[in-house]
Amino acid sequence: MADLKKDTQSKMKKAAESLQREFGQVRAGRANASLLDRITVNYYGAPTPLNQMASISIPEARVLMITPFDKSIIKDVEKAILASDLGISPANDGNVIRLVIPQLTEDRRKELAKEVKKLAENAKIVVRNIRRDAMDDIKKQKNANEITEDDQRDLEKEIQAITDEAIKNIDKETAEKEKELLEV
């Protein structure tokens, strides 16, 4: 019984963490190093994540500065950024690459807020599916006479409470991200 609760809680926590990573990918008009998490650079024939081969800093609110550990790969890093879906042109001075994050328009902010809501709704669906699977497991245990009816009711209440908490956290994260997006 305790395993089922822990397992359910763990899965729901992973769903929330996944949502946070997805929110990090949404460009909010200010510099955020997680924008570069998905970019890989062809380094001696092997695709290597950018954040493993360069230091990424934020010298100003809307500027990302990428300092490769090996200066000879600066052109490869620049190509990888241009090939990515970031839509930001890198400025290369021979030692570092600067990415200036453009200011978002009002329409683009609203569009991104809608995208954030869609991501949150998908996360809620995942959480509800996890709850459904846990409830099915409880019913199977009851039908196999492994637990009593009282245990079944108690477990279902606990699973519902875990679900409610997960949904509440997703709503809170979503509200924070929307506020960040709509802030000028």
Cβ neighbors of 117 (< 8 A, separation 6 or more) are 174, 178
Tokens 């929330």 belong to which residue?
16
Per residue in 118-157, pLDDT (tens digit) is: 999 999 999 999 999 999 999 999 898 888 889 889 999 9
Average pLDDT, stretch 30-37?
74
Crossing angle of the two packed helices 106-143 and 149-182, in degrees rounded to 10 = 170
- Residue 88's pLDDT band (cuts 50, 70, 90): confident
- Range in 72-76, 99-103, 151-155 the model is least confident about: 99-103
Average pLDDT, stretch 5-30?
84
Average pLDDT, stretch 103-122?
86
> In this model, does residue 85 exceed pLDDT 80?
no
Whether 37 and 55 have beta carbons less than 8 Å apart is answered as no
> In this model, does residue 62 exceed pLDDT 70?
yes
Q: How far apart are CA 138 and CA 43, in angstroms?
A: 50
Q: How far apart are CA 120 and CA 16, in angstroms?
A: 9
Scored b (16 or more CB within 10 A) or e, 36-70 reads beebbbebeeeebebeebbebeeeeeeebbbebee
